[in-house]
A = this chain, B = another copy of it.
Amino acid sequence: MNKKTEPTIHDIARELNISASTVSRALNNNPRISQKTRDKIKAAADKLGYRPNTIASNLRNQKSNTIGIVVPMINRHFFSSVISGVEDVAFKAGYNVIISQSNDNFSKESTIVHSLFSNRVDGLIISIGMQTQTFAHLELFIRKHIPLVFFDRVVDEIDADKIVVDDFGGAFQVTQHLIDQGCRRIAHIAGPQNLKIYTERKRGYQQALSKNGLSVDQTLILYNNLTAEDGQKAIRQLLSLPNPPDAIFCANDTTALSVMIFLRDKGIKVPEDVALCGFSNEPFSEFVSPSISTIKQPGFEMGQKAAELLIDQIEKKGKTERKHQTFVMPTELIVRQSSSRK
């Protein structure tokens, strides 16, 4: 903030020998001010280099025109796409976007959410961290009736609008596809089961197996945090089984990639020896060799939808508080080399 005091509406008022309220009205295009004075005031404002002080206006109006967004990691393609979508819609509607990342750290997430509340954001869009298992910080928003929209990693226990992709359906499709390619012992590298997206993906996988008369072998389901290192560990373990899998469905692309690189280094052929699928359609999955089959998640569109829902709630506030809904965005199976046995 600058020290030389900025021109205010009072400076404009003094310049023109009128009152500050008239200036305020003119600058807000209040029709009660004549066109002539309005023009005069705007000219003076320009001349003085006046810029409205949004903070003062926010305080007075009890509205910050700001929305907060919290993601685990900004620097991840899916999340940055969502943020981009949010910004796109928010900008057009005249809202600022404050971003924060939790780094999957519960304590940071909680601090951030409280700080956003103190900043009086008009609404919050969040995808919770992997560690998050209690929700007092989010219930705060509910209790105060501040609009809240979850996306991707949502919280069942809280009643709010949610945007998810069809994790179950996507996982089902992937698994069915692997079965169609002739795979019979399909492993699953699963994510932390406190996150619904990962339980859903597992459920889709299991259901597809069952529907096709294949048994669910618990030794073929491994749980971890889906990092590249976790993928390495998991594939080692799977290969060491007496009866190793002929296909692996990884709950994200990062893990799928690390598995693929491991197999490539070991001279194990993908997809001939082991077929492989990921989830999310990270940009690299298309270009690696062999390219990785995966499920496309429309990140940008999810961000747009989340922002639309949130702003809708903000601006309808008070009137018809409508029921909260969960929007399921369609997923799309993208078949690439890593699973194409023909």
CB under 8 Å from chain B, chain A span 57-99: 58-59, 62-64, 66, 73-77, 80-81, 83-84, 87-88, 91, 96-99
In the complex, the count of this chain's copies comes to: 2
User: In whole angstroms, how far apart are the Cα atoms of A63 and B98 in the complex?
Assistant: 16
Q: CB of A119 within 8 A of chain B?
A: yes
Q: How many residues of A contact B (CB 8 A)?
A: 59
Residue in B closest to A56 when the chains form the complex, CB atoms: B59
Q: CB of A22 within 8 A of chain B?
A: no
Please, what's the 1-or-0 string for A218-229, where 1 marks a CB less than 8 Å from any CB in chain B?
000000000000
Nearest-neighbour CB distance to chain B for A69, whole angstroms, equals 9
Checking B73, B108, B144 against A2 with a beta-carbon cut-off of 8 angstroms, the contacting residue is: B144
Nearest-neighbour CB distance to chain B for A235, whole angstroms, equals 17
Please, what's the 1-or-0 string for A104-145, where 1 marks a CB less than 8 Å from any CB in chain B?
000010001011011110100000000000000000000011
CB of B101 within 8 A of CB of A98, answer no
Majority secondary structure, A binding face: mixed
Q: CB of A54 within 8 A of chain B?
A: yes
User: In whole angstroms, how far apart are the Cα atoms of A54 and B58 in the complex?
Assistant: 11
CB of A145 within 8 A of CB of B114, answer no
Nearest-neighbour CB distance to chain B for A221, whole angstroms, equals 26
CB of B99 within 8 A of CB of A83, answer yes
3 tightest A-B CB contacts, nearest first: A289-B289, A80-B80, A75-B84
* 14 other A-B residue contacts (CB within 8 Å) besides A87-B101, A91-B100: A1-B120, A4-B144, A52-B118, A53-B120, A66-B98, A75-B83, A75-B84, A77-B80, A83-B99, A97-B99, A257-B287, A283-B283, A284-B286, A287-B289
List 28 A–B pairs whose Cβ atoms lie within 8 Å, in order of A's numbering: A1-B62, A1-B63, A1-B146, A2-B146, A3-B318, A4-B144, A53-B59, A54-B115, A55-B55, A55-B58, A55-B119, A74-B84, A75-B77, A75-B80, A75-B81, A75-B84, A75-B299, A75-B300, A77-B77, A77-B80, A77-B283, A80-B80, A87-B100, A96-B98, A97-B99, A98-B98, A99-B99, A283-B284
